[in-house]
Amino acid sequence: MHRVVTAAVAIGLGPAGMFITAPPATAGVLAAPGNCPSGNVCFYPNYDYGGTPSLYPNPTDHSCGSTPIVARGVFNNDDQSWTVYHGDGCTGWGVNISPGVGVSDFIALDSSDPTVRSWR
């Protein structure tokens, strides 16, 4: 089963493509995966938070950079919002992920290549 955590809080189409904002966590709806420690943004190689995540501890730099891996799922267990993008160099569709929220599968945004490659 594919689970996608997104909301129509802010959906727009601009020069960089589609942009979606994931909502703040709601009690009981989504818990942090057990392998994503507090203070980390966790990038998963498989959907539904599958596989061994690449952990990015205590991020502070909001300039564009490559994700540690090409990720099919991301959980933000940090205390600030982060935006992940489909393309290199923060291009293509993007998803803003609030603290305590994750996207376990990007297939609703791109069924042919549901991955993210850059973030800020």
How many structural domains compose the chain?
1
Residue 31 lies in a domain: no
Residue 82 lies in a domain: yes
Here the tokens at position 91 are 């291009």
Residue ranges in 1-111 assigned as alpha helix (H) = none
How many Cβ atoms are within 10 Å of 31's Cβ, its own excluded? 12
Tokens 């891996």 found at:
69
Residue 34 lies in a domain: no
Spatial distance between the Cα atoms of 51 and 14, rounded to a whole number of angstroms: 33
Q: For residue range 78-119, what is the model confidence (pLDDT) as tens digits?
A: 999 999 999 999 999 999 999 999 999 999 889 999 999 999
Residue 45 lies in a domain: yes
Residue 30 lies in a domain: no
85 in Cβ contact with 92 (< 8 Å):
yes
Residue 98 lies in a domain: yes
Question: DSSP of 1-40, one letter per residue?
Answer: ------EEEEEEEETTEEEEEEPPP-TTT----TTS-TTE
Read off the amino acid at residue 76: N
Residues of the domain holding 113: 7-24+41-57+71-119
Q: For residue range 28-84, what is the model confidence (pLDDT) as tens digits?
A: 334 679 999 999 999 999 999 999 999 999 999 999 999 999 999 999 999 999 999
Residue 33 lies in a domain: no
pTM of the model: 0.79
